[in-house]
Structure 1
Amino acid sequence: MALDPPTMLTITIALAAAAALYLAIEWRSVREPSLLLWSAGFATITVGSTLALLRGIGLLLIGIWFANGLLVVAHGFFLLGVLRFTQHRLSRAWLLMVGVWFALLLLPAGPEWSKVMLMVNSLLVALLTLKASFLLKPHGRSLSVGAVQLRYVLLIHGLFYVAKAIIAIAPGTLIDLATFGGLIIQVSLVEGAMAIILIALSMTGTVRYRREERIARLAARDPLTALYNRRALEVRATHFFKEVSPARPGALLLIDIDNFKLVNDLHGHIAGDRLLIALSEMMRAVLPERSLAARLGGDEFVILLSAATSERVVALGSQLREQFQQFALQTVPTPQAVTLSIGANLFDQPPASLAALIEQGDLALYQSKRDGRDSIRLVDRTLVSSGS
């Protein structure tokens, strides 16, 4: 079968329909809105390419103007999908493109009509595509392999349409949209079929990476407080301990809520959850740079403090205790005060493990509880190591 323009259009229709269905199926499992917009783009290409075949039976308005207009609309859907994916917004000035396209109806029929139509169509497609490619620029943060691939596929696709617009108005170029006449039109049909495959695969890879990244992020977080869970803390603590030295001591603060059971018994578990969330927000507010916070479970929390001193540890612990006690007193009054007990451990040598460090913090926490709760007990192991 010869790859003449009608055949290439038929292949394009099949590929675009398959890409639209493929992305729609992906959306059902991922629920990423950008997939629906991209799927709509390929569905629009399917309709537009089908209408383009009608020029062969003399329906030029539908087969040329309307069909090419749908090609612009399809790339508009691609841009909207990228906007949704990158969480950017677009100026309303872009709606002027609609007016430009309708203005083509006012052009007089003649030998130059096909050239002007192809040039304007190519420039509009290029503008939308290059904008989408630009929005996928990293902007200071890394992109997934799929997003990088999508960015460059869109970039090459957009530059192709820029070249297409330039060639369209070059002297001596043969272009006849009514009969698919001209080498540039035939090359464009081949490029379009290849672009459909590459863009669809890149779009899917981009969204799959985001889904995997989201799953990994959720797996590392406590679902109630959004702090790290113990497993995630253990992974990050390995890197944290590498930076500990006599010049940059570290500290662990083990935090436990006193009389927390009273809150659940008197006010219900929802009130208890609100208290845990409030404490996690207080911890985030006072957490210095390069430090870590996690919920170990129940009403027990831990902070790993970087570049610590005994004064900083006591000051941070006291600040948390005061803020928390005031909040608990106002929101969940109980016969016995709901306060914080903190066991802290200051160290200037990497510990054997996080578990060993928590065990040492637990001894200090027990001492704080035994001394009447609502207090902080600090064990300064830097003094021990400096004297040995």
Structure 2
Amino acid sequence: MALDPPTMLTISIALAAAAALYLAIEWRTVRESSLLYWSAGFATITVGCTLALLRGNGHLLIGIWFANGLLVTAHWFFLLGVARFTETRLSRAWYLIFVVWLAMLLLPEGPQWSKLMFLANSLLVALPTLRASFLLRPHGMSLSVGAVQLRFVLLAHGLFYLIKMVPPLVPGSLIDLAAFRGEIIQVSLVEGAMAIMLIALSMTGTERYRREQQIARLAARDPLTALYNRRALEVRAPRLINAVSAARPGALLLIDIDNFKLVNDLYGHTAGDRLLVALSEMIRALLPPSALAARLGGDEFVILLGHASPERVHQLGSSLRDQFQQLAAQSYATPAAVTLSIGANLFDRPPASLAALIEQGDQALYESKRAGRNRIRLDDRTLAAPAAD
């Protein structure tokens, strides 16, 4: 099959339509707006390439001006999708692209008309494409393979359109948009089909990676408090507890809400959930850098510290107890005070497992509750010192 202009346009139509359909299906599944914009971009290319075929029948206004305008619009949709993906706010100045294209209607038809249209189209496609590539730069954060690929595909595509602006400026160069004549037009059609395929693959890979990352984050978080769940804590804790030493002890604080059932019974489970969320926010606000916090289940929470000391543990525990008791007393009147009991242990050697460490904290928590609740029980296992309340 000869790669003549109608054939290349037909290939582009098929590729763009397939990409638009696939991205639309993905959008219906995950509702990411970037997918919707990218799908709209490929759908616009599909329509534009279809209209471009009409120029062979003499419909020059539709087949050239309108079709090329849709190509510009498609790349503008790509830019919008990348902006949504990177959570970037675009300037309203980008809407001037369409004003410039509408102004192309005022160009007088003549020997240079095809070259001027070719120049304008190349510039208006290159600008949003290069801007989209710029938005995908790392910003100090790692990007997925798909996002990196999309960035460089868009960069190459945008640079190609800038390079396309050179031939029309060369005296004697042949550019005839009506008949698809001119070597640069032939090259553009081939590059367009390849770009559609590469951009589509990169976009789907980019969004798929982000969706997988979101799923992984959700799987690691408690759905109510957004703290780590126990499974995530078990994955992250070994690096912290294996780094402890005599010079840098670690500490575990096991936290339980006293009389929490009274809040649920008197005010409902929604009130209880609000109290759990409030406690998680207090923990997050007081959590030192590199420390870990998780909700083990129910009204039980755990904090894992590195480079700890008895004073640091007591300070953190006391701050939590005071803040929580004040909030609970102001929000929910109960026959018995709703407070925090905390069992903590300080260690300078890695425990056999996280479960063994939590079991030690549970013993300290039991002693805290048995001693009257609303207190901290610290077992210092580094110096074999007597436990202190």
> How far is the alpha carbon of 1:170 from its aligned partner?
2.1
1:34 and 2:49 aligned: no
Please show how residues 77-88 of structure 1 align to structure 2 within 5 Å: 77-88=77-88
* Counterpart position of 2:189: 189
C-alpha distance in 1 between matches for 2:92 and 2:363 = 63
Say if 2:241 and 2:306, in contact at 8 Å, map to a contact too.
Answer: no
* Counterpart position of 2:56: 56
C-alpha distance in 2 between matches for 1:41 and 1:168 = 27
Q: Determine helix, strand or coil for the equivalent of 1:302.
A: strand
Say if 1:257 and 1:299, in contact at 8 Å, map to a contact too.
Answer: yes
Please show how residues 139-150 of structure 1 align to structure 2 within 5 Å: 139-150=139-150
1:161 and 2:184 aligned: no
Say if 1:52 and 1:64, in contact at 8 Å, map to a contact too.
Answer: yes
Q: Determine helix, strand or coil for the equivalent of 1:319.
A: helix
What TM-score, normalized by structure 1, do the two folds share? 0.97
* Counterpart position of 1:275: 275
* Consecutive unaligned residues in structure 1, runs of 5 or more: none
* Counterpart position of 1:131: 131
Q: Determine helix, strand or coil for the equivalent of 1:7.
A: helix
* Counterpart position of 2:255: 255
1:70 and 2:56 aligned: no
Q: Determine helix, strand or coil for the equivalent of 1:202.
A: helix
Please show how residues 1-388 of structure 1 align to structure 2 within 5 Å: 1-384=1-384
Measured against aligned partners, the alpha-carbon deviations of 1:314-344 in whole angstroms (never above 9, x if no partner) come to: 0110000000001111111100000000001
Whichever residue aligns with residue 67 of structure 2, its letter is: A
Stretch moving more, 9-18 or 369-378? 9-18
Whichever residue aligns with residue 237 of structure 1, its letter is: A
> How far is the alpha carbon of 1:212 from its aligned partner?
0.8
Q: Determine helix, strand or coil for the equivalent of 2:121.
A: helix
CA-atom RMSD in angstroms: 1.1
Q: Determine helix, strand or coil for the equivalent of 1:384.
A: coil
C-alpha distance in 2 between matches for 1:170 and 1:36 = 40
Moved over 2 A (4+): none
Say if 1:224 and 1:273, in contact at 8 Å, map to a contact too.
Answer: yes
Whichever residue aligns with residue 267 of structure 2, its letter is: H
C-alpha distance in 2 between matches for 1:246 and 1:168 = 74
Measured against aligned partners, the alpha-carbon deviations of 1:86-117 in whole angstroms (never above 9, x if no partner) come to: 11111111122122112212222222111111
C-alpha distance in 2 between matches for 1:181 and 1:375 = 85
C-alpha distance in 1 between matches for 2:224 and 2:3 = 59
Stretch moving more, 313-322 or 348-357? 348-357
Say if 1:116 and 1:169, in contact at 8 Å, map to a contact too.
Answer: no
Measured against aligned partners, the alpha-carbon deviations of 1:11-45 in whole angstroms (never above 9, x if no partner) come to: 11111111111111121222211111111101101
C-alpha distance in 2 between matches for 1:374 and 1:25 = 54
C-alpha distance in 1 between matches for 2:325 and 2:89 = 43
C-alpha distance in 2 between matches for 1:323 and 1:80 = 45
Q: Determine helix, strand or coil for the equivalent of 1:90.
A: coil
Stretch moving more, 185-194 or 161-170? 161-170
C-alpha distance in 2 between matches for 1:111 and 1:19 = 37
What TM-score, normalized by structure 2, do the two folds share? 0.97
Q: Determine helix, strand or coil for the equivalent of 1:294.
A: strand
Identity %: 78
C-alpha distance in 2 between matches for 1:312 and 1:168 = 72
